[in-house]
Amino acid sequence: MAETSDRHFRQAIIAAYADPRMARVLLAMLLLGFSAGLPLLLIFGSLSLWLDEAGVAIGEITYFSWAALAYSFKFVWSPLIDRLSLPVLGPLLGHRRSWLLLTQCGVIGAIVWMAHSDPANGLTLMAMAAVLLGFSSASQDIVIDALRIESAEAEKQGMLSALYVVGYRFGMLAAGVGVLYLSSWFGPDIPEGAPEIYDYAAWKWAYLCMAALMGIGVATTLFMREPEASAQRTDVVHDSRDYARFLLLFLLVTGNFVLAFVYLNPAPALKAWFLADWAWEGPVAVFVAGFARMAVAIATAAGMAMILYYSPLVPRPMVRQTYFEPVADFFRRYAWLGVTILLLILVYRISDIVLGVVANVFYKHLGFSKIEIANYSKLFGVAMTIAGGLIGGLLVTGFGVLRMLLLGAVLAAGTNLLFMLLASAGKAPMLLATVIAADSFSGGIASAAFIAYLSSLTNISFTAIQYAIFSSLMLLLPKLLGGYSGDMVATLGYSDFFLATTLMGIPSVLFVLYLYYRNTRNGARDV
């Protein structure tokens, strides 16, 4: 029996790579994964070290992780990308490729803007550029996710996910190791053991090099083929006036959300009504206030959306088809089990993402230099993540998604305990390498399994919007909590913070166990 299973495992892997069309798709996913992974650390890891060198406090540094909240709300504008055909570019390149090229140009422009913003002279311009980069990068992800899902059958998504993760990690490698090496190379010569000196020009040229590297994604977009499933779609055709009204709806609701978040602050009322004065300055109270502010902004934007929906301004059938039908389709297929699935998506990545926001600053505070952080955390860490992603993709193909989801959830939370050892040991290079190897390898397995799982949940008729909702939920809670991780570290210390991130991973393990139990009890095949 074991020999038969092993033979089936090998045959599935060989078949996935043997098809010439599939080989082209796999190569495209590898390169587009690079294009998707490169912007991420330019908002988080590398940017956190830049801000730390510029003298920005750790609490303000981690707030910059909110620039990537666009990833958590991309389902709001993903229907525009899914349904709206671009003039000129659309007929020339196809629906998906035209949007991909536009979003990649937005990423390049945002990186160039960040390169010309010195955080030592104020954070406003840098924050605006980081938000634009988050928005453009999240929009690029919407298109790439749809391309990936439309390019192959469900049983081949594990392989596509694995290659996408590998490319993604190479992009992160360029943005992590590349930026740190380049900023050191462009900067002044510093004697070994001497403190590093902040040099804005070095960071500027490092970021401009990253903008140039985005040319890899642009070239892939220009030379790849439009997926057949996208080229044959007929449900994206609407009257141009409907598209204009739909775009106006999006702009009004988005503007309402931004204004509400900036000008409506429920924190004083919360302090007076619910929270004692002695608790107000703690990290819990800060999180409650921030969460309430986000909730008020979302509620205000939702109210505006409902008012516009019932007004003559909005093409109501188009809104129903774009927003309501994908959600209704999901619950028609999964019924009440869909609630458990959405809760799993919400918490699955919380443990490693919240820790990752402060990781680079933590290494710096232990006494490691930028080059050492690049070598250990980025170069070695990304290599281990790539290995984990490749092995995770193969394991998903051979043993099923839910089993690998469970393994990934246990490993992602459990390896955070190793950071407690590192916090107590101080600057210990070998221990740092061990911790990073374990954390990165487990993260690669978890990512490959989770991407394959999200892909299996989508209906090809609503590819972009459904996957955008899933991936948005995946990042919403982790990114929201990650913004407060600096305050948590300042209050709890690093060791207790790492313990807290481990405990955050327990719900994801329980949800996967429940889904696996339901699957086994019903005799369903593990996807």
Which of 294, 314, 334 represents a domain boundary (last residue)?
314
Same domain, 112 and 175: yes
Same domain, 373 and 355: yes
Same domain, 174 and 286: no
Residue 372 has a CB neighbour count (10 Å cut-off) of 17
Whole-number pLDDT of residue 133: 93
Residues 140 and 36: beta-carbon distance below 8 Å: yes
CA dihedral of 459, 465, 471, 473, whole degrees rounded to 10:
-110
Same domain, 185 and 264: no
Same domain, 288 and 207: no
Q: What is the mean pLDDT of each run of 10 residues along the chain (527 residues)?
A: 50 56 77 90 82 79 74 74 79 87 95 92 86 90 83 64 80 85 76 67 92 94 77 52 70 76 64 50 62 77 81 74 80 87 88 83 83 77 79 77 86 88 87 87 84 79 72 77 76 86 90 84 58
Going by C-alpha positions, the residue among 228, 291, 254 that lies closest to residue 484 is 291
Whole-number pLDDT of residue 112: 95
- When divided into structural domains, the chain yields a total of 2
Whole-number pLDDT of residue 278: 43
The per-residue DSSP string of 454-494 comes to: HHHH--GGGHHHHHHHHHHHHHHHHHHHHTTHHHHHHHH-H
9 assigned to some structural domain: yes
Residue type, 273: W
Token representation of residue 337: 């089990």
Residue type, 402: L
Same domain, 441 and 327: yes
Whole-number pLDDT of residue 313: 73
Whole-number pLDDT of residue 194: 52
Tell me, what DSSP letter sits at residue 239?
-
268 CB contacts (<8 Å, ≥6 apart)? none
Which of 279, 314, 349 represents a domain boundary (last residue)?
314
Where residue 82 sits, what CATH number does that domain have? 1.20.1250.20
Same domain, 363 and 431: yes
Which of 264, 285, 314 represents a domain boundary (last residue)?
314
Same domain, 261 and 345: no
Whole-number pLDDT of residue 2: 46
526 assigned to some structural domain: no
12 assigned to some structural domain: yes
Name the phi and psi angles at 72, rounded to 5: -85, -15
Residue type, 399: F
359 assigned to some structural domain: yes
Secondary structure of 327-394 in the HEC alphabet?
HHHHHHHHCCHHHHHHHHHHHCCHHHHHHHHHHHHHHHHHCCCHHHHHHHHHHHHHHHHHHHHHHHHH
The residue range of the domain holding 293 is 239-314
C-alpha to C-alpha distance for 447 and 294, rounded to whole angstroms:
27
Residues 471 and 447: beta-carbon distance below 8 Å: no
Same domain, 66 and 149: yes
Whole-number pLDDT of residue 334: 86
Whole-number pLDDT of residue 216: 93
Name the phi and psi angles at 104, rounded to 5: -65, -35
Same domain, 455 and 379: yes
Same domain, 89 and 60: yes
Going by C-alpha positions, the residue among 219, 474, 166 that lies closest to residue 347 is 474
508 assigned to some structural domain: yes
Helix ranges restricted to H, 157-237: 157-173, 179-186, 200-213, 215-223, 228-231
Whole-number pLDDT of residue 29: 85
Q: Helix, strand, or coil here: 105?
A: helix
527 assigned to some structural domain: no
Same domain, 152 and 50: yes
